[in-house]
A and B are shown apart, each in its own frame.
Chain A
Amino acid sequence: MRNIWTIARREYRQYFISPLAYVTALAILLVVGAYFSLYLYFVSQQSLFGAQAPETNIVVGPMATIFLLGIPALTMRLLADEQRMGTLELLLTAPVRDAELVIGKWLGAFLFALTIIAITFIFPVILNALVDPGIDQGIMISGYLGIILMVAALLALGTAISALFSNQFAAFFVTLGLMLFLWWVIGWPSSVFQYGAPHDIFEHLNISKHFGDMTGGNVTLAAIVYFLSLTILGLLVGTTAVETRRWR
């Protein structure tokens, strides 16, 4: 536990001296902020005609899309760069378990992502003040829970891929590909098979489906199990990747 925390803390600090992490954070906050402002502007023009009051999903929805691009940038160097710089040898000969190393790396990235998510919390607060009688707290909580779970899962997958490569750009593109696959491509078969087991299986594997449920205020056990399983899977694959490095 202590080693996980030591590694996570170093990694978290590392993000604050990395230009790439700032760019990623800036992109997420800029897009979310711009979308939020424009949305409010248009809604305010239509309110006379009884438009529906906006909910937290106008913040969480665009944030998820930008995170899909941002997460590969946040995870690409986690282990790939240690390999390139030769510092992996230092960590693998320190009294640290491979799993502790991988979990620590993931946790550092997760804490940084949580920091970005925490900053966006200002938007629901503004929204709550503007909308009468206030926004739906349930939708807000489930939306934020959704993005946190999704980001945890995607970061774990990114960490695993970073452990497989010693070139961070290779790690970036493979992670991005996997992210788009799980978010987008995997939804195609479920619309081809309109019903039955194939439809259910592919729909269950679809990130955007589970995330959509959560942002709609629907906290399903299926979604929670799905995101937690993906997180654990990512950390397991990452640990195995580090272990197999030793055998090469």
Chain B
Amino acid sequence: MIRAEGLTKDYGARRAIDNLTFETRQGEIVGFLGPNGAGKTTTMRILTGYMPPTAGTATVAGFDVVEESLEVRRRVGYLPETVPLYPDMTVFEYLKFMADLRHLPNAEDAVDEALEAVGMSERADGYIANLSKGMRQRVGLAQALLHKPEVLILDEPTIGLDPAQVVEVRTLIREIGKERTVMLSTHILSEAQQVCDRVLIINKGRLVAEDTPENLQARLTGAQRARLRVRGDIEDARPLIARIDGVQDIKILDDGALEFQFAPATDIRPTVAKAVVQAGLDLLELSPVGMSLEEIFLELTRGETTVR
């Protein structure tokens, strides 16, 4: 559905994205993961026909984003990072305006349907200026859904929402992604893990990894870490842990917790728990330590090797 080949964009002397090549299939939710300034928004702006690439080509739903931009824009629903709304219009007026621009035959029905989908029906006559950030985000999403697009491109769809709204929006995206192709950008690893079928990781404009979230995590870490806290001195626990088979790389952290590494195939956490309790120590915490996004980037960008 989306195919990018050698996509490159320069802003003056600065290269925002560098030779990006990727592909997404129909009915797939693809996460575009990277830190701020990695080139996520730039890529999405190229795919939606907002601006042309400096080099390379991209097609969306079979149409070239530069040569057949209008065809692409007819088939894409786009939610930019700063939700584009007119504060002095009502929700309904705004969506009706966008539906008219898209020449939808039953514009008012389409608006009602989109409002229903994002759960904003009861606020249709309210002014956009009076909506909370989460509601604005949902109106923006309704705008992207109006014409039932084949491809949905969402730039940081959950940014600035409260936790309950984040869950709602993620559920909504999963729902939409059953039939349509969704590409969403995020800088939150767990979001990509929860929502996406496949993740593209970019850093400094380059694609550094592309895989399912599970594979990515496993391949990147190769081992799992866990964190242990006990009441009293953690040094008492250290020899207990060191004795257990498969435990490596024990570290005492500044906050009084202990971290250790083990092979993911053998989850030895129950053994650890038993050992601690049997030694008469009070177990306060034993939790897995996920690799943070920053660590993954460090890992992936070390020596500029590309994992593909």
Interface residue range, chain A: 20 to 34
1/0 per residue, CB under 8 A from B, across A82-118: the answer is: 0001111111111111000000000000000000000
Would you call A89 and B80 a contact (CB within 8 A)?
A: yes
The stretch that binds B, out of A2-10, A180-188, A229-237, is A2-10
| Residues from chain A with Cβ under 8 Å of B51 in the complex | 246-248
| Residues from chain B with Cβ under 8 Å of A6 in the complex | 97, 100-101
In the bound assembly, the distance between CA atoms of A158 and B86 in angstroms comes to 22
1/0 per residue, CB under 8 A from B, across A224-248: the answer is: 0000000000000000000000111
Would you call B101 and A86 a contact (CB within 8 A)?
A: no
A193-241 interface (Cβ within 8 A of B): none
- Taking the nearest CB of chain A, how far is it from the CB of B227, in angstroms? 42
Would you call A87 and B85 a contact (CB within 8 A)?
A: yes
Is A17 in the interface zone, CB < 8 Å from B?
yes
1/0 per residue, CB under 8 A from B, across A1-36: the answer is: 011001100100010010000000000000000000
| Residues from chain A with Cβ under 8 Å of B86 in the complex | 85, 87
Would you call B101 and A96 a contact (CB within 8 A)?
A: yes
State whether A94 and B102 are in contact (beta carbons under 8 Å apart), knowing that A6-B97, A246-B50 are contacts in the complex.
Answer: yes
The residue in chain A whose Cβ has the minimal distance to the Cβ of B76 is A93
Would you call A97 and B70 a contact (CB within 8 A)?
A: yes
In the bound assembly, the distance between CA atoms of A17 and B51 in angstroms comes to 32
Would you call B50 and A89 a contact (CB within 8 A)?
A: yes
Is B23 in the interface zone, CB < 8 Å from A?
no
B interface size (C-beta, 8 A): 26
| Residues from chain A with Cβ under 8 Å of B78 in the complex | 93
- Taking the nearest CB of chain A, how far is it from the CB of B278, in angstroms? 61
Would you call B80 and A95 a contact (CB within 8 A)?
A: no
- Taking the nearest CB of chain B, how far is it from the CB of A104, in angstroms? 10
In the bound assembly, the distance between CA atoms of A90 and B99 in angstroms comes to 12
| Residues from chain B with Cβ under 8 Å of A97 in the complex | 70
In the bound assembly, the distance between CA atoms of A17 and B90 in angstroms comes to 13
1/0 per residue, CB under 8 A from A, across B74-86: the answer is: 1010101011111
State which of A14, A17, A85, A95 has its C-beta within 8 Å of the C-beta of B73: A95
B51-88 interface (Cβ within 8 A of A): 51-52, 70, 73-74, 76, 78, 80, 82-86, 88
In the bound assembly, the distance between CA atoms of A246 and B84 in angstroms comes to 17
State whether A94 and B98 are in contact (beta carbons under 8 Å apart), knowing that A2-B103, A89-B80 are contacts in the complex.
Answer: yes
For the complex of A and B, the 5 pairs showing the least CB-CB separation, nearest first, are A90-B84, A87-B84, A86-B82, A93-B48, A95-B73
| Partner-A contacts on B (CB < 8 A) | 11, 45, 48-52, 70, 73-74, 76, 78, 80, 82-86, 88, 97-98, 100-103, 143
| Partner-B contacts on A (CB < 8 A) | 2-3, 6-7, 10, 14, 17, 85-97, 246-248
